A and B are shown apart, each in its own frame.
Chain A
Amino acid sequence: MPLAPRKPLTDFFLRGAWVGILWGWATLGINALTGAFVTEHPLASNLVMFGAGGLLTGMFVAGLMGLLGERRVYGSLWLTALALSAGTWLALRLAGVALTFSDPRRYHPDGPQSAQGLALALGLGVMLAAATRFFPPCKRY
């Protein structure tokens, strides 16, 4: 029985890491443009924190893409990346709704920020799909 190929999944995680960091920084820039939330921390601190958040999210979604392998939504890499990215955000957001129910005063929802979050999640999906499309696994090995 042959071993499963090792490098492609590693590739997905690595790709998710750098795409995630770029996405995190893009999130910071887009948020500044839309003004959905006026940031409270200095830019240097936010660059680190948004980069770290993007790293985690990017690696997680890319890892899911790698684990799915060739099983794709309607056979499309783009739809799969969008579905996984938006699905991950939606799952976290739904858990946030539970927090809102438990403590509405502290965890109050914000429409524009939520819309921006969903749009950014879709943006992460596009970025991951584009990176996978143009930097396919094992191409350089």
Chain B
Amino acid sequence: MRDTPELIGMENTVDTKMEQIQTGAVSLRGIGIALLMAMLFGGMVVAEYGLDGVVPGAHDGMHDYRHANGMPCH
């Protein structure tokens, strides 16, 4: 069966929709990765500087780790 103009138009619409879905999926994944990296970096900062204000007990808990890695401490 030859493709009628209607069918060709439908294919284009499907292609566009797929592209939108795929682009959306990549963007969501990118946001997820960015959030994970930000959380990891935040965790590192809390651990390396012992920010008790953010995580209570972080200063004392990570004290030895901080010194062993050469971060300034009291």
Question: Which A residues contact B (CB, under 8 angstroms)?
Answer: 1-4, 6, 9, 13, 24, 27-28, 31, 36-37, 39-41, 45-46, 49-50, 52-53, 56-57, 59-60, 63-64, 67, 88-89, 92-93, 95-97, 99-100, 106-110, 113-118, 120-121
Q: Are A6 and B29 in contact (CB under 8 A)?
A: yes
Q: Are A50 and B74 in contact (CB under 8 A)?
A: no
7 pairs, CB–CB < 8 Å, chain A vs chain B: A27-B68, A39-B64, A40-B63, A52-B47, A92-B45, A92-B71, A108-B74
- CB of A108 to closest CB in B, whole Å: 6
Kindly list chain B residues whose C-beta atoms are within 8 Å of the C-beta of A100: 72
Kindly list chain B residues whose C-beta atoms are within 8 Å of the C-beta of A59: 40
Q: Are A4 and B29 in contact (CB under 8 A)?
A: yes
Known: A53-B69, A60-B40, A89-B70. 13 other contacts (CB 8 A): A36-B68, A40-B64, A53-B44, A57-B44, A59-B40, A63-B33, A63-B40, A88-B44, A92-B45, A93-B70, A93-B71, A96-B71, A117-B69
Q: Are B64 and A96 in contact (CB under 8 A)?
A: no
Cα distance A13–B74 in the bound complex, in angstroms: 33
Asked whether B31 is an interface residue with its Cβ less than 8 Å from the other chain, the reply is no
Q: Are A110 and B70 in contact (CB under 8 A)?
A: yes
Cα distance A63–B38 in the bound complex, in angstroms: 11
Q: Is the interface of A mostly helix, strand, loop or mixed?
A: helix
Interface size on B, residues (CB 8 A): 30
Selected from A27, A40, A63, the residue in CB contact (under 8 A) with B69 is: A27
Question: Which B residues contact A (CB, under 8 angstroms)?
Answer: 19, 22-23, 25-26, 29, 33, 36-37, 40-41, 43-45, 47-49, 61-65, 67-74
Kindly list chain A residues whose C-beta atoms are within 8 Å of the C-beta of B73: 107
- CB of B56 to closest CB in A, whole Å: 15
Q: Are A37 and B72 in contact (CB under 8 A)?
A: no
